[in-house]
């Protein structure tokens, strides 16, 4: 951090949070319990281990009747003998020592790569204590190194040498969730040290809520910023390795590389391209609301470390045990959807970054606000207030379409993503309304659509 102001922050720098998000502590409890449960549910509800996608016995009515029967079993659920008998069984089915060790080795690799690989230093946005943080930019080199090592394994051992992630799926999920819990507890406790700058939304005083939403804005140690590190490296790159492992598993089952289906190639290449783009444009992450505004707590930790690699890769995992041959016409159509989405996403993000960095070459029209910041009013930013979300959503659709229409479960990703982005757009709108006041009203009149031009 440059220009440290004083050792201990003045109290007004960390005001009490008075407004809850995500329905407050009950919502924090439900999401903290629900997100890990959903990651397991998406595996057990869609895998060959459990018999299909969904497994034959799992119907909507079987789920509702089980849930309806829960109150009648309440006394059983409250008895300690039930838990002492059940918990060890559950733990042994989801815990896997080899996967845990491999996960820890992977996380360590990412930290060492951050420390050792060269990278330029880039300043983040101005923080409300008057300082800026400096970040080492080498996520893309870490990605290339990981890909290089993986390619080496594949050359030496063939596809059979990289099926470990498919085979130890649940063990990896448990390890990554464990890592998220440990980190969230660690940064929560660390945030009570003298001088810590807290997130405006993470200082409610409610332990569960603050632990979940993230109490400290930028927890870091010796220049290692845990939030930006987690957002781009261990989870995002692992997602690519998971996809590669799914390609390998399919290759092993179908007689070699030539047996890998067009649908698998599409899903994997689209997603690898998306991750490569995010890592290549690493400094762009520094202006996202996760970095500038949100604290780092369990929500982001589990999102970055467990949700991204093991939920975003569901379609590729499904294609391992349910191969789909698309043929040239469907392939071309899906490529077109992805390319359109990518073009809108990249053009919107690049034009905003160039514009805000004083490097606009497109001659964009803008509105100058009373705060001094300028809001673009033409090009993609004149068509909707979040054109980048629109592009991202089109890509999400293109990542589900290759799985065909035999199950709705592989459309979970695009559905969840729509909910996430609608919620995110509302949060960002509230943030801009607060920051720009009347100017934001004027901008909203000029650009009435939220995400999808002429639709929403
Ligand atoms: N794959 C995934 O799981 C996810 C991907 N994403 C992607 O991450 C990217 C970043 O998203 P996010 O941080 O939410 O938001 P944006 O990159 O869209 O940034 C929003 C900010 O941009 C500024 N802004 C708003 N309107 C304008 C305008 N007209 N002209 C100039 N600046 C404007 C405002 O900040 P200011 O205060 O500076 O004016 C606003 O707060 C997106 O592409 C999104 O799709 C996001 C979430 C999950
Ligand atoms: C279910 C749950 C707990 C959700 C938490 C949300 C997170 C999964 C996402 C919040 C913002 C994200 C971003 C990316 C990945 C998903 C999370 C962490 C991102 C790194 C993906 C790659 C993109 O290019 C990106 C850099 C723009 C993007 C930034 C936001």
Task: Give per-10-residue mean pLDDT for the chain (456 aa).
Answer: 46 87 94 96 94 84 76 74 82 94 98 96 88 94 98 96 97 98 97 94 95 95 93 97 98 96 98 97 90 94 98 97 96 98 94 85 88 90 95 97 96 96 92 90 93 90
Domain ranges of the chain: 15-53+90-324, 326-456
Specify the pLDDT at position 4: 43
Q: Any bridge partners for residue 123, and if so which?
A: 134
Specify the pLDDT at position 277: 96
**Of 31, 12, 10, nearest in space to 22 by CA:** 31
392: CA distance to ligand 1 center in Å?
11
395: CA distance to ligand 2 center in Å?
14
Q: Is the CB of 278 under 6 A from ligand 2?
A: yes
Specify the pLDDT at position 9: 52
Residue 223 carries which DSSP code?
A: T
Residue 427, token pair as written in the block: 């949060």
Q: Is the CB of 177 under 6 A from ligand 2?
A: no
Residue 409 carries which DSSP code?
A: G
Specify the pLDDT at position 11: 54
Neighbouring residues of 349: CB distance < 8 A, sequence distance ≥ 6: 281, 284, 388
- CA distance linking residue 412 with residue 40, whole number of Å: 14
Closest ligand 1 atom, CA of 428?
Answer: 41
Q: How many other β-carbons are positioned within 10 Å of the β-carbon of residue 191?
A: 24
258: CA distance to ligand 2 center in Å?
33
Asked if 242 and 165 count as a contact pair (C-beta separation under 8 A), the reply is yes
299: CA distance to ligand 2 center in Å?
11
Bridge-based pairing of strands 134-137 and 220-221 is unpaired
Asked if 216 and 199 count as a contact pair (C-beta separation under 8 A), the reply is yes
- CA distance linking residue 348 with residue 394, whole number of Å: 14
Distances in whole angstroms, Cα of residue 237 to Cα of each of 147, 247, 299, 452: 9, 16, 19, 29
Closest ligand 1 atom, CA of 435?
Answer: 37
Nearest protein CA to atom 24 of ligand 1, as residue:
375
Specify the pLDDT at position 74: 72
Q: Any bridge partners for residue 366, and if so which?
A: 376
Closest ligand 2 atom, CA of 290?
Answer: 11
pTM of the model: 0.91
Closest ligand 1 atom, CA of 348?
Answer: 43
């Amino acid at each position: 951090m440059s220009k440290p102001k004083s050792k201990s922050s003045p109290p007004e720098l960390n005001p009490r949070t008075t407004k809850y998000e995500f329905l407050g502590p009950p919502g924090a409890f439900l999401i903290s319990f629900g997100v890990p449960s959903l990651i397991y549910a998406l595996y057990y509800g869609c895998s060959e281990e459990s018999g299909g996608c969904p497994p034959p016995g799992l119907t909507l009515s079987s789920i509702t009747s089980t849930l309806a029967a829960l109150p009648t079993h309440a006394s059983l659920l409250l008895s300690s003998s039930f838990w002492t008998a059940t918990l060890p069984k559950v733990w042994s089915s989801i815990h896997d020592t080899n996967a845990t060790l491999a996960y820890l080795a992977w996380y360590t690799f990412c930290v060492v790569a951050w420390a050792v690989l060269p990278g330029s230093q880039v300043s983040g946005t101005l923080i409300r204590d008057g300082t800026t943080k400096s970040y080492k930019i080498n996520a893309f080199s870490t990605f290339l190194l990981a890909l290089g090592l993986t390619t080496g394994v594949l050359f030496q051992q063939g596809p059979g040498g990289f099926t470990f992630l498919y085979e130890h799926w649940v063990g990896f999920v448990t390890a990554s969730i464990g890592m998220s819990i440990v980190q969230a507890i660690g940064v929560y406790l660390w945030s009570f040290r003298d001088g810590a700058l807290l997130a405006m939304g993470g200082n409610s005083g409610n332990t569960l809520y603050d632990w979940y939403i993230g109490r400290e804005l930028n927890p870091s140690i010796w220049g290692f910023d845990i939030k930006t590190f987690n957002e781009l490296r261990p989870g995002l790159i692992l997602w690519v390795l998971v996809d590669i492992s799914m390609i390998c598993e399919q290759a092993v089952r179908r007689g070699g590389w030539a047996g890998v289906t067009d649908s698998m190639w599409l899903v994997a290449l689209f997603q690898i391209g998306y991750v490569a783009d995010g890592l290549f444009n690493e400094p762009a992450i520094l202006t996202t609301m996760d970095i500038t505004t949100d604290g780092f707590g369990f929500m982001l930790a589990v999102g970055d470390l467990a949700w991204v690699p093991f939920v975003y890769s569901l379609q590729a995992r499904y294609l391992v045990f349910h191969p789909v041959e698309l043929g040239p016409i469907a392939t071309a159509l899906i490529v077109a959807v992805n390319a359109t989405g990518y073009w809108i996403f990249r053009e919107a993000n690049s034009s905003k970054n160039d514009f805000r960095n004083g490097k606009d070459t497109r001659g964009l029209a803008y509105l100058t606000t009373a705060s001094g910041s300028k809001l673009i009013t033409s090009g993609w930013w004149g068509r909707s207030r979040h054109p980048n979300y629109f592009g991202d959503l089109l890509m999400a659709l293109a990542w589900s379409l290759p799985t065909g229409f035999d199950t709705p479960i592989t459309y979970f990703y695009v559905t969840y993503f729509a909910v996430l982005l609608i919620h995110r757009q509302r949060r960002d709108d509230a943030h801009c309304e607060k920051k720009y006041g009347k100017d934001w009203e004027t901008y909203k009149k000029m650009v009435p659509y939220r995400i999808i031009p002429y639709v929403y």
